[in-house]
Structure 1
Amino acid sequence: MKKGKVRRTVILIIVACMILTVLGCVAWKKRIGIYNTYMKMTGREPSRTTQWVLKGKEIGYHKQVIKTGKNKSETLQIADNGSNMEKVESTITQEASWVDTSLEVDQQLEEEQKNGYTWEEPLIVQNPYRYSPLTAVILFDTDEECEVRVTVKGKTEAADIEGTIDASTSHRVPVVGLYAGQENTVLLELLDDTGKVSDSQEIKITTDELPEKMNDAVTPVKTSGESALPLTIVHGQGARYPYAYDCMGDVRWYLDRKSDKFGIYPLSNDRFLFAAGDIGITNIGKPDTSDLYEADYLGRAYKLYYIQQGVHHDIAEKEPGGNLLILSNSGEEYYWDMIQEIDRETGEVVDELKLSDIFRKQYVNSIDWAHINTISYQASDDTILISPRNLSAAVKIKWSTKEIVWMLGDPKLWKDTEFEQYVLQPEDDFVYQFYQHSVYQLTADLDGNPETQEISMFDNHASFFKDRIKDIYDNPKESYVLVYSVNEKDKTVKQIKKIPVTYSQITSNTCYDETSGHIFGMCGYVKGRSGINYEMDYETGEIINQYQISSWFYRSTPMKIDYNDLASAMETDENYICGELLKPVETTKKLTKTTDQMPDESEVSMRLMDRILYVRSDYHAISQIIFSGEDHTYVYDLSDKLIFSEKMMLVNQEMAVPLTDMSADSYDVYVVYKDEFYNSGQTITIK
């Protein structure tokens, strides 16, 4: 070979190597290198979280003043009853829990009852528990045992709100459903043992105006003058202060306490679980609340659960009064993808399912790949029915074995995957759902076949991940109330009802009232960020009532009132504050203290509730909270927590930090805020 040709060959090789090196560096810099390409080709593409770590550009703040390593995720079991406030002294404002303030008022009412108020001169206490302004209690005694019927008179007879309390001689009568900003007429009737009225009287109760945010909250578009639901609750998202309206669209109840973005979760005992607003667990997505109260419609709270991984979208009971199945977050790689079973008494996590453990590599390709938005439990076969919205599928799973029973969704989405075998096969033609909400198994037999199960669904018929559905999405720009008939034995499904409603891109739900045969389409997110609620005849699809909701909302649900429960004195568990939280970790590493004080514009604030420290700041602005004592040092470390969007940092967050396991000492509180180290100026002494 000639020397010139050899020289050219060597030069070409060198140039090629240089180009490959440059391309490799660029590929590494941009994270689109050979490694990622190979991972994609082999179906093992790293999750977005892993890719962000590769970038070395984690969003948020991650500085450690005390090096604790990564993954400090040890949790602490909470078992408390509000009796330990005196064990903590602090410069930080201390407050009682909602349960404690409820108990205090309830005990005062019990004492007041002993003063012997009479039927002729009862005691009327409006909004006794501070948080439910359109309620009251009426105290009086009678010589003979009798039932009491209480009726808040409505603007029409159909708008009356009525309930009956069991027979007694000592009466604490709950009043629910007052109108705001007017004098209300409340009819009390004494009933003898045959149910006949032995005496009656009218009582007047005057209320304050609604808060400005609730003015014109509901506007009737079409009303028949009556409804299958005496009161309908609107909650979550744009309705952070839950409220309820009657058949005429008038607000008759609201809770003057801010919820989180998902609002409240009705319980079988006609109470509800209240997800506290702005209190958020740091995870890769949006902060979800850690604080979950069991409360009633008078505004009493009975229990506080701490949920370490946060709770979102939905909660189900395994049985009335039994364990809770909550939707939660798996942690660092994904969010809105996990189900946990919570012990109803202790708040302990006793079982869990990460949905990625079932679906593995297929479809698990984004942080919010699942987006579970409903869950229910069927005790008859120990199954859960869930709605992973971003899979456009409803999935039934055996809870004890974590095995898929069936899936309801377009078979085209699952063709040639290992999940194809679980997909129900359609009988007759129907349009499949896209990015649905509110999937529940009904108790009613709507198809006349005892061998089938009826499933209701709100089909948003939206299109978020168009690459997944681009070949099958029909883009009708309307949503649907759907009912399916599922034959589990044959693995088949029929769509037995499809009622078009206003297009609602996200949130929303449907429910069915078996007594009236009415079905409801609650459109939570329509154009202009408002809502529309429909009450329809199931058989004909005819609209019976239609209400315009001024704000968008997460869900709208029936309000069911247990008057005897509301009339009873509170009973709580021994440890009515319970659950699990990430714990501060003790360290022997020396802290080099700082005298720098928190800047005024830091937005950091603190409050103490029993032995829980709440720290408020912008989301992910705090990476460490350090408790420096004379003999002990503890670090609450969030430095390894990742978030996926800078937009999340505009959200306000309040973190619940447990002090219950910290040794007796006097501590100065330091904060690593936006990667700067500050002395908060606050002290905590644990006795």
Structure 2
Amino acid sequence: MITTREDNQKSLTATYKKEVESTKNTLDTPYVKVNPYETSPLSALVIFHTDDAVKVTYTVVGKTKNTSISNSVKGYSKTRQIPVVGLYSGANTVKITTTDKNGKKATKSLSVKTTTSLPKYIKDSKPTIKNTNKSKMVIGKNKLTLLVRSTKESFAVDGDGVVRWYSTLWNQHLMENIHNGHFLFLTKNKQSDMMYNDLLETDYLGRVYKEYSFGTKTTTNETGAAKAETTIIHHDITELPNHNLLVTVNDGSKKYVEDTVVEISHKTGKVVRVLNLKNILPAAMYKEYKSKKRADGKLDWFHNNAVDYVKKDHSILLSSRHQDLMMKINWKTQQIKWIYSGKKKSTWPKAYRKYLLTPTKGTAVTGGQHGLYQLSQSKSGNIENVLIFDNNIAVTNGDKKTSGKYSQGVQFKINQKKKTITQTWAYGKTLGKQNFSYIIDYTQKLGTDNYLMDYGFVDGGNKSNIVEVDQNKQIFNLTVSNPASKAYVYRAYRVAVYPSNYTFSVYK
């Protein structure tokens, strides 16, 4: 771990501490700083004092129905440090209400002006919506649709498709919430770098709390010219109960990539456990893998694009795009618990056949799928429900009959004891080829009946289409252009910009 970005922000935090400690900032004349940490232009920090201890609620007033963004600050206090997220580009009204212990209220309406110029790669994305019913969308009081891109700036939009948050730091693939309301964010040391090897623990104001740097190795090609090593962290990351990080990585192998998972200590930044998929699966899978080598000459035989930790049985879920395979492994023992793949049972070595799931009638065989994670698990542990985005591209073992005809979000019920898998929900088949997405993508379950799907690579990668459905009826359809090479929407999440476990304080 390093502290470069934290150190760079210390003077800013010191300034805000002085404002917190000054009694001149009142509700009538608060201190307001737009873009307080200089990477989040549509955010602000508001500081004020009151004579009596009060609790606070505040709202960024929306321009249309169901676009206001509200938050409540926990507890009573005479001093308030309010993180304001979800501002519009340009003019804003922020309404603040304080309530003392006797129920007496006071209000203040602030005019807050942010930059009127969005970055080129966000402006050129031209978000457009259709089929939208905001009253049925799962947006709560402060949720936005976060578009995490494969490169350039990630950003978030409201139910009107209007940009309400972005970071000026370029981001690749990873924006993942953690236990304290912060999130993990993969970026670069500087924009001119080829690799995304800086992992930040940050918040929507742009404050950096921790930074991990994974180095910048350089190799040479056959002519002796220097070329950069591939990005070490690639597709996914999750936090373990002990707050260590579980990460999909390239491990520096001279021949293979994207087939390793590591656990990183949140205290030291060091790797404390390694899972190499070549030690788990049959050797023929990687030794006999038929595919063109990448530009760097390496074989991407597994292409692990998801990792999810299951606390109940200390296991992890993995998704292999290039084997059209999903699997569950005990993280402590590294023993396989189950495998789902279109690869015929008879072609597996006998030692593996006991792990294979048998699909019930009507259950899709996935191809090139992404974003596997668990929704729930029964008390006994035998039954679990998982969700994926099925790209439906038969890379090696997918369904060749349907491959390339459509892509879909799919929910499965798995009986670990009987080794069966049953499809319980799917959406996307009726959209056909126009929403076929060859790579990337994600499905998120929102509440009981709603699902959000990111078709990130439609129209040959020129566009990304994000769809929310209530069971199978569209209630939100957002299309963004991909204005630069690889600036696709890798994943779309519906997120609370004020997580319930988040409190901002200059003293933390």
Do both share a fold (TM > 0.5)?
Answer: yes
Selected match of 1:557 from 467, 478, 493: 493
Work out whether 1:537 is the aligned partner of 2:470: yes
297-306 or 550-559: which moved more? 550-559
**Conserved 8 A contact 1:411-1:423:** no
Displacement of 1:563 after TM fit? 7.1
Look up the match of 1:153. Answer: 61
**In the TM superposition, what are the counterparts of 1:259-658 in structure 2 within 5 Å?**
259=171, 261-277=172-188, 289-307=196-214, 310-319=232-241, 322-330=243-251, 331-365=253-287, 366=289, 367-412=299-344, 415-418=347-350, 419-443=352-376, 451-465=382-396, 472-500=400-428, 501=431, 502-514=435-447, 516-529=448-461, 530-538=463-471, 541-551=472-482, 552-560=488-496, 561-562=498-499, 565-571=502-508
Distance change >3 Å, CA 563–CA 414, structure 1 → 2: same
Higher helix share: 1
| Greater gyration radius | 1
Instruction: Measure the CA separation in 2 of the matches of 1:481 and 1:550.
Output: 21
Displacement of 1:305 after TM fit? 1.1
**Conserved 8 A contact 1:279-1:288:** no
Which amino acid is the alignment partner of residue 273 of structure 2?
D
**In the TM superposition, what are the counterparts of 1:136-147 in structure 2 within 5 Å?**
136-147=44-55
Distance change >3 Å, CA 291–CA 564, structure 1 → 2: same
Displacement of 1:237 after TM fit? 1.7
**4+ residue runs over 6 A deviation:** none
Displacement of 1:115 after TM fit? 2.1
Instruction: Measure the CA separation in 2 of the matches of 1:410 and 1:197.
Output: 65
Displacement of 1:108 after TM fit? 1.1
Look up the match of 2:115. Answer: 208
1:501-520 CA deviation, whole Å, 9 max, x = no partner? Answer: 52111010001012x53111
Instruction: Measure the CA separation in 2 of the matches of 1:122 and 1:563.
Output: 24
Distance change >3 Å, CA 288–CA 442, structure 1 → 2: farther
Instruction: Measure the CA separation in 2 of the matches of 1:203 and 1:527.
Output: 43
Look up the match of 1:168. Answer: 77
Distance change >3 Å, CA 99–CA 299, structure 1 → 2: same
1:65-119 CA deviation, whole Å, 9 max, x = no partner? Answer: xxxxxxxxxxxxx6x55xxxxxxxxxxxxxxx22112232112101122221111
**Conserved 8 A contact 2:367-2:403:** no
Unaligned runs of 5+ residues in structure 2 are 216-230, 290-298, 483-487
Displacement of 1:379 after TM fit? 1.5
Instruction: Measure the CA separation in 2 of the matches of 1:544 and 1:122.
Output: 39
Instruction: Measure the CA separation in 2 of the matches of 1:296 and 1:443.
Output: 28
1:380-434 CA deviation, whole Å, 9 max, x = no partner? Answer: 1110001111111111001111111001222527634343321111222322110
Displacement of 1:279 after TM fit? 7.3
Instruction: Measure the CA separation in 2 of the matches of 1:376 and 1:414.
Output: 29
Displacement of 1:271 after TM fit? 1.5
SS of structure 2 residue aligned to 1:391: coil
271-280 or 164-173: which moved more? 271-280
**Conserved 8 A contact 2:27-2:108:** no
Displacement of 1:288 after TM fit? 5.4
Distance change >3 Å, CA 214–CA 416, structure 1 → 2: closer
Instruction: Measure the CA separation in 1 of the matches of 2:101 and 2:501.
Output: 17
1:428-474 CA deviation, whole Å, 9 max, x = no partner? Answer: 232211010011110388xx998521110100011345xx55x8442
Instruction: Measure the CA separation in 2 of the matches of 1:197 and 1:179.
Output: 31
**Conserved 8 A contact 2:50-2:79:** yes
Identity %: 28
Look up the match of 1:244. Answer: 156
Instruction: Measure the CA separation in 2 of the matches of 1:424 and 1:382.
Output: 20
SS of structure 2 residue aligned to 1:158: coil
Which amino acid is the alignment partner of residue 80 of structure 2?
H
Distance change >3 Å, CA 409–CA 563, structure 1 → 2: closer
**In the TM superposition, what are the counterparts of 1:110-149 in structure 2 within 5 Å?**
110-116=17-23, 117-149=25-57
1:211-248 CA deviation, whole Å, 9 max, x = no partner? Answer: 2322253211221134213201111225x211100111
Look up the match of 2:225. Answer: none
**What TM-score does the superposition give when structure 1 sets the normalisation length?**
0.64
348-357 or 360-369: which moved more? 360-369
Instruction: Measure the CA separation in 1 of the matches of 2:469 and 2:400.
Output: 29
SS of structure 2 residue aligned to 1:362: helix
Look up the match of 2:221. Answer: none
Distance change >3 Å, CA 472–CA 449, structure 1 → 2: farther
Distance change >3 Å, CA 368–CA 197, structure 1 → 2: farther
SS of structure 2 residue aligned to 1:105: helix
**Conserved 8 A contact 1:242-1:263:** no
Distance change >3 Å, CA 489–CA 464, structure 1 → 2: closer
**Conserved 8 A contact 2:389-2:442:** yes
Look up the match of 1:103. Answer: 10
Distance change >3 Å, CA 147–CA 414, structure 1 → 2: farther
SS of structure 2 residue aligned to 1:439: strand
Instruction: Measure the CA separation in 1 of the matches of 2:499 and 2:10.
Output: 19
Look up the match of 1:235. Answer: 148
**Conserved 8 A contact 1:191-1:198:** yes
Which amino acid is the alignment partner of residue 371 of structure 1?
H
The number of residue pairs the alignment matches comes to 460
Displacement of 1:570 after TM fit? 4.9
Displacement of 1:278 after TM fit? 7.0
302-311 or 168-177: which moved more? 302-311
Instruction: Measure the CA separation in 2 of the matches of 1:119 and 1:289.
Output: 42
Which amino acid is the alignment partner of residue 553 of structure 1?
V
Instruction: Measure the CA separation in 2 of the matches of 1:325 and 1:360.
Output: 23
Which amino acid is the alignment partner of residue 474 of structure 1?
T
Instruction: Measure the CA separation in 2 of the matches of 1:390 and 1:524.
Output: 18
Instruction: Measure the CA separation in 1 of the matches of 2:148 and 2:504.
Output: 25
**Conserved 8 A contact 1:164-1:563:** no
Instruction: Measure the CA separation in 2 of the matches of 1:369 and 1:351.
Output: 22
SS of structure 2 residue aligned to 1:478: coil
Instruction: Measure the CA separation in 2 of the matches of 1:437 and 1:564.
Output: 28
Distance change >3 Å, CA 278–CA 436, structure 1 → 2: farther
**Conserved 8 A contact 1:298-1:566:** no
SS of structure 2 residue aligned to 1:174: strand
522-531 or 342-351: which moved more? 522-531
**What TM-score does the superposition give when structure 2 sets the normalisation length?**
0.85
Distance change >3 Å, CA 293–CA 278, structure 1 → 2: closer
Instruction: Measure the CA separation in 1 of the matches of 2:34 and 2:190.
Output: 29
